[in-house]
Amino acid sequence: MSITITEFTADHLEAVVHFNERLRSGGMHTQFPESSVPLWLPPAAGRPVYQEYFVALDDEAVVRGAYILKHQDFKIKDRVVSVGDFELPISEGTVDRKYSNIASRLLFNAIGRQPLLYGLGMGGYDEAVARLFTAARWLMFTVPFFFKVIHPTRFCRNITILRRSPLKRIVLDLAAWTGLGWLGVKTVQAIRDKRMAAAASVTVESVDEFGPWADDIWEACGDDYGMIALRSCDVLRVLYPREDPRFIRLKVHEGERLLGWAVMLDTQMSKHRQFGAMRVGSFVDGLASASDAGKVVSAATTHLERQGVDLIVSNQSHAAWCSAFGAAGFLRGPSNFLFGGSRKLAELLKSQGVESDQIYLNRGDGDGPINL
C-alpha cells in the first residue's frame, strides 16, 4: 500500500470526516479539523505566522493520517530563520496496527518540508508523538510548569488531578474545611515571594492591541535570548488579535520607562480534568529584557490576583523567566509540557552555543494557549 502526503484541500473534506469517525469508533477522542482552511492561523499574503494542513492518502484516496505545520520566524543568536512547528499529528495506526507506520511517515514528510522542526506540548514522554521524537533522536526537554495558589480553599476542593483517590480527596477536603490548606499554601508561597516594595513604581496599562511600541521592546531585548520566536508587532497582532476578547494584554512600565508586556487569560473552568471549577489565570506570553523579567512577572501576577482568580499557572523554559516566577512566589510542579527539536534544529542550536535554558518558550508558542 502506497501513501501520498499532500496538502488538505476541499476535495479531501469527506475523507477527513470519515477518518475522524474511524478514530472515534476506535476510542480515540482527538480529531483532525474538518476544514481545509486552517481555523487558527490561515495563510494570507504578508502574514508572518501561519499554518498548513496535510493529509496522508492511501491508494484509494482514503485519509489514514494528518498533521498541521505552523511556520514562524525565530531568532537564534544573531540569525533569523524560518522554523516549523509539527502540530496535531494523527495516525490511524493508533486504532489499527495495520497503519502503524503512518506516524513516522508524517514526521519525515514534515521534516522534508521544514528541516528546522519542533514540537511543543505533547502531554508527556509516554505519548505517541513524544515516543516518535525520541525514536528519531530529537533534542528533548521538559518545559517547567509554575503555579501560584491564590485561594487555597477552592484549590483544595477543585484540583482534580490531586483528588483521584478517596484518601487524597479526604485529606484535601479536611485541609479546606480546617483552614490548614490555606495556612500551609500561603506560608510556603510567602517564603518564596520576593516581590519588592520597589514594585510600587511598576505600573500596568491594559491595551486592546499591540502597537509599534511592541517593536521597540523586541528590538531592545531580542538579543537576550538564545532562541526565541519573533515577537514583533505584526506577529503579536496575529497571535493575540484585538478581536479575541479572551486575551488580557498589559504594557508594563517603571516610571516613564516601558519594561515589557504580558498576555494573560482569566478563565472560569467547569469540570476541567485538572482544575475542576476553579477560576484559572494563566501567564500565556510576555517579553522584556532578561533583567526585567521579574518586574513584568510580578506586575502581571498582581493584576491577576486583583481580578480574583483562584490559581495562576504558566510554563516557561528560559532561566531568567523561571527565576522570575520563583521570586514571585510561584511553586514548580510536575510538567507534561515537552519540547522536541529535530536533529537539524539541534545541530544549529549547538553550533550557536545555545543551551536549553537559553531557549525562550511558553504557552504562546507551539499551538498556543489551548486548554487554558
* Total residue length of the chain: 372
- How high is the pLDDT of residue 197? 46
The predicted structure's pLDDT at residue 180: 45
Please choose, from the candidates 304, 265, 318, the residue with its C-alpha nearest in 3D space to the C-alpha of residue 148.
Answer: 304
- Residue 371's pLDDT is what? 74
pLDDT of residue 172: 40
At 198 the pLDDT is: 45
| Residue 362 confidence (pLDDT) | 97
| pLDDT at residue 148 in the model | 93
129: which residues sit within 8 A by CB, 6+ positions away? Answer: 86, 89, 103, 119, 122, 340
The rounded distance, in Å, linking the Cα atoms of 53 and 37 is 8
Domains 4-142 and 145-333 share a fold: yes
Whether the CB-CB separation of 344 and 115 falls below 8 Å is answered with yes
Q: Under CATH, which number does the domain 145-333 receive?
A: 3.40.630.30
Angstrom distance (rounded) from CA 194 to CA 170: 33
Q: Name the amino acid, one letter, at 35.
A: S
- Tell me: domain 4-142, CATH 3.40.630.30, correct? yes
pLDDT of the residue at 33: 97
What is the C-alpha separation between 4 and 21, in angstroms, rounded?
21
* Per-residue confidence (pLDDT) for residue 190, from 0 to 100: 56
pLDDT digits (tens, 9 = 90+) for 84-111: 999 999 999 999 999 999 999 999 999 9
pLDDT tens digits, one per residue of 45-69 = 989 999 999 999 999 999 999 999 9
Q: Where are the domains of the chain?
A: 4-142, 145-333
Q: What is the pLDDT along the chain (372 residues), one digit of tens a residue?
A: 789 999 999 999 999 999 999 999 999 999 999 999 998 999 999 899 999 999 999 999 999 999 999 999 999 999 999 999 999 999 999 999 999 999 999 999 999 999 999 999 988 999 999 999 999 999 999 999 999 999 888 887 777 655 555 544 443 444 444 444 444 455 555 555 655 444 668 999 999 999 999 999 999 999 999 999 999 999 999 999 999 999 999 999 999 999 999 999 999 998 877 788 899 999 999 999 999 999 999 999 999 999 999 999 999 999 999 999 999 999 999 999 999 999 999 999 999 999 999 999 999 998 888 777
Backbone angles phi, psi at 148, to 5 degrees: -135, 125
Pairwise CA distance, residues 327 & 324, whole Å: 5
pLDDT in tens, 231-254: 999 999 999 999 999 999 999 999
Work out the burial of residue 3: count CB atoms within 10 Å of its CB; fewer than 13 is exposed, 13-18 middle, 19 or more buried: middle
C-alpha 327: how far from chain center: 22
